[in-house]
Amino acid sequence: METSEVTGPSPAEPADKKFLTVRQAAFIGVGAMVGAGIFALLGAAGEVAGAAVWLSFLIAGVVAGLQGYSFAKLGARYPSAGGLLEYVAKATGNGHFTGVTAWLTYLANAIVTAMVAVSFGSYATSTFAGENAAWIKVFAALIIVVMTAVNIAGSGLVAKAQTVIVYVVLGILAFFSVVTLVNIHPSLLAFSGYPSARDIISSVALTFFAFLGFGIITFTAKDLAKPARQLPKAMFLALGIATVIYVAIALGVFGTLTVDKVISSGGTAIAVAAEPTLGRAGYWLMTVTALFATAGATNAGLYPAQGLSERLAETGQFPPLMARKAGGRASNGLLIQAAVCLVLAVVFNLDSIASIGSAVALVIFTMITAAHLRIRSETGANLLMLVLAIVAAGAVFVTFVFTTLIHEPASIATLAGILLLSVALDYGWKHFRDTRTKNAQLVH
């Protein structure tokens, strides 16, 4: 049996290795969650849930918390650099199910990170280059390169950068929340103006996407001194912070602006809501926040690539090439992920497939918690909590498919393509690996 507690560095680690604190691990998750989502979601969610968007965020936080419970229990029992992929392997073995899930996770993370980088490019262009859209790709590529360099420098620098970014983002968003909440018009939030419960539940399919980054926290296990105790604390701290911030922002925005005004304002709704009290300075303040938030989400999105690649290469799920280091420092897994992000950000129009990363993540979360049922006796997880987590994530995905994805043919085709590519990569690599092993045995 494996031990459920890791108390310090393993023999393979240097004795003077600097470990992350619970707060630093949580902030990597907060940075991944509080990215472009909260800035873009308010208008879209308002179209469905009206002024009840704050309730939608609250419900989404509960759904994410159920998945977080499952991941925290798994992480406490199986702390690993492989993060959530390690949990799948423990439940189903190192077969094709784990391999396909691994490639799916790797590709989905590249898509989401590229999208966040493009969002950074959009905000940076509007701030520094006016209406010249060509600069969007330039700034997107620049932030990917910079954050790749930060990740190559090591998890310590990632954590420090993320801590600064998250403090700035949370500080400004907290300030915004206080300013708007103090000046809200209660009548705009009256329950009598809320849509039906069905519409509010439907909007959870949108607001849940603002929480997707919490899964990245599972990859910090390799950098925690006592992951069995620290990982669950980091998970719930990050989800708690994100939920409070999201609910406060939704209350502030919809308590300041009418639903129609929020919808028409789109991605600038937060900035528009700040203007009545803070004037034009409020608009620029929120633009700066968006730049920090998207930079942090890009940084956090690249973070799992090295640990994930090394662990999966070790177990035979990824080619050994993915675990090697260029120049003895830069992980090939990270460099390949960054290269894929660059191609996606620069070459493709990501607006047409903006929901794909989230849809894939929902599928992955449901698969992992379903696999958790097989090893529940080892993790000590509560059966009812796991079933609720599966049902909740499944319901969000089904709702998303029938309310949003069904109207986006390009997204459906891309989703199918990603699934097929993941299967092809897994079966192709393992066929090559097994053939090479057989040939080597014949030679000897």
Q: For 281, what's the count of Cα atoms within 13 Å in the CB-facing half-sphere?
A: 4
247 three-state secondary structure: helix
pTM: 0.79
326 three-state secondary structure: strand
Inter-residue contact 26 to 217 (CB < 8 Å) = yes
Cβ density class 164-186: b for 16+ within 10 Å, e for less = ebbebbbebbeebbebbeeebee
Residue 371: CB atoms within 10 A of its CB come to: 21
- Cα(5)–Cα(258) distance, rounded to whole angstroms? 51
Residues 321-329: contacts with CB under 8 Å, at least 24 apart:
329/152
Inter-residue contact 52 to 206 (CB < 8 Å) = no
- Cα(65)–Cα(232) distance, rounded to whole angstroms? 11
Q: Letter for the amino acid at 414?
A: T
Across-strand partners of 20? 224
CATH domain 22-439 topology: Amino acid/polyamine transporter I (1.20.1740)
pLDDT of the residue at 351 = 61
The DSSP code for 12 is T
Q: Letter for the amino acid at 143?
A: I
pLDDT of the residue at 304 = 85
pLDDT of the residue at 3 = 36
pLDDT of the residue at 444 = 66
Residue 25: CB atoms within 10 A of its CB come to: 30
- Cα(406)–Cα(218) distance, rounded to whole angstroms? 31
pLDDT of the residue at 2 = 38
Domain ranges for the chain = 22-439
pLDDT of the residue at 382 = 94
20 three-state secondary structure: strand
Type and span of the H or E element at 155:
helix 155-182
Which stretches in the chain have pLDDT values below 50? 1-11
pLDDT of the residue at 354 = 60
